[in-house]
Amino acid sequence: MARYPPDLDRWREAARIAAEARELGLRLTVPGARRRDVADAIEGAIRAAGAEPSFPANLSRNNEAAHYTPDPDDPVAFVAGDLVKVDVGAHLDGAIADTADTVEVGGTHRYENLVRAAREGLRAGIAQVRPGARVNDVSRAIAEAIRSRGLKPMENLTGHSIERYLLHGGMAIPNVPGFTDAVLEEGQVIAIEPFATNGVGRIENGAFGNIVRFRADPGAKDPALAAMFGRFRTLPFTARWARSDAERAALARSRRQLQTYPVFVEVGGGWVAQAEHTVLVGPAGAEVLSALP
Ligand code: MN
Ligand code: MN
C-alpha cells in the first residue's frame, strides 16, 4: 500500500530549497567566518526561497556530532582545520526536508577520510532503498562502507522517517545493523544520515544547547509565547529567531514549557563527519529529494 504525501511536489520543492541552503552553508564555512553569520545566511536563504527552516541551522564542529546552533551573541569564528557539519532543514506547510554534509574548513585535507566515509555510507544506504527493503539492509550497507575506511559508524544516532510537521517520525534508520525489523514502504519520506568517527562510535549528551521546541501549545495567556508557537508549532527553533525583546524575555522565563536539546558529542572525543539526504521511497528505488538539481 503506497503512502505518498498528497502534496509530493511541495516535499520536492522543500528539499530543493534545503539542498541549495546546505551548499550555501558549505561555501560560507571558511576561515574567519562567524558561525552566527553562517547560520543566519542559511536560514535567510531558506526564507528568501519561500520556505521556512524546519530547525535552526546546525553548525556542529569537530567532536560535536549534532545539535549545535549559535545563540544571538555567539562569538565563534571558524578556523582552518575545523570539521563542520552543515545540517539544514526547510519546510513548506509542514512538508519537511533534512540534509547535511561536512566541510573541512580551509581545505586542510586532514579529515578527508572521515568526510568520504560519511558520504560513501550515505550512498551505500541509499542504494538499498526500494519498497519492501529491510531497513536493516540500509543500516548494514552504511556500516560496512564506513568500516571499510577503518572508521566507526555512530551507533546511537539514526536516520528517521519524516512526517508532516514531524521531523523525526516513527521509523528509525540506524547506522549499524541489528536494531530494527522495519520495512520500507513505497511513498515514505525518510532521512538517511550516516555519521563517521575516529572515536568510539557513540555520542553522549553534552551541554544544553540553543535549540528548543514547544512540548505543547502554550495557549494564549502569554502573547509573546503564543506568537512564537504560531510560527514554530512543535518544530525546533532558537533564540536567534525571536522577533522582539518581549519574545526573548518570554523564552527566558518559559524554559519549563520548552524542550531544550543537548549538543551531542562523541564519547571518545573523536571527530565526526556526517552526510544526510531526504529520500522518497519510489516505485523502483530511492528518489533523492535533497540532491542538487
Ligand atoms: Mn535528520
Ligand atoms: Mn539533519
Angle at 53 between CA 47 and CA 59, to 5 degrees: 115
In this structure, which amino acid lies at residue 179? Answer: F
User: For residue 257, what pLDDT band results from cuts at 50, 70 and 90?
Assistant: confident
Which residues are part of the catalytic machinery?
87, 98, 160, 168, 193, 276
Residue 246 Cα to ligand 1 midpoint, Å, equals: 31
Q: Rounded distance, CA 261 to CA 29, Å?
A: 23
Domain edges within the chain: 8-215+260-288
Query: Which ligand ends up closest to the CA of 157?
Result: 1
Q: Rounded distance, CA 50 to CA 230, Å?
A: 18
pLDDT at residue number 293:
73
Q: What is the pLDDT of residues 129-150, one digit of tens each?
A: 999 999 999 999 999 999 999 9
The answer to whether residue 1 scores a pLDDT higher than 90 is: no
Residue 99 Cα to ligand 1 midpoint, Å, equals: 7
211-227 mean pLDDT: 94
Q: What is the pLDDT of residues 73-84, one digit of tens each?
A: 999 999 999 999
The answer to whether residue 249 scores a pLDDT higher than 90 is: yes
Residue 221 Cα to ligand 1 midpoint, Å, equals: 33
Architecture of domain 8-215+260-288: Alpha-Beta Complex (3.90)
Counts of helices then strands in the chain (DSSP H, E): 6, 15
Q: Rounded distance, CA 117 to CA 144, Å?
A: 10
Nine-digit cell string for 90: 526547510
In this structure, which amino acid lies at residue 188? Answer: Q
Query: Which ligand ends up closest to the CA of 53?
Result: 2
pLDDT-wise least confident of 1-10, 261-270, 282-291: 1-10
Q: Rounded distance, CA 90 to CA 68, Å?
A: 17
Nine-digit cell string for 8: 509530493
Q: What average pLDDT does the structure give for the chain?
A: 96
Q: What is the pLDDT of residues 81-104, one digit of tens each?
A: 999 999 999 999 999 999 999 999
Query: Which ligand ends up closest to the CA of 89?
Result: 2
Task: Dump strand ranges (E) for the chain.
Answer: 52-61, 64-66, 83-92, 95-104, 152-153, 158-161, 172-174, 189-192, 195-197, 203-214, 237-238, 258-266, 272-274, 277-281, 286-288
User: For residue 255, what pLDDT band results from cuts at 50, 70 and 90?
Assistant: confident
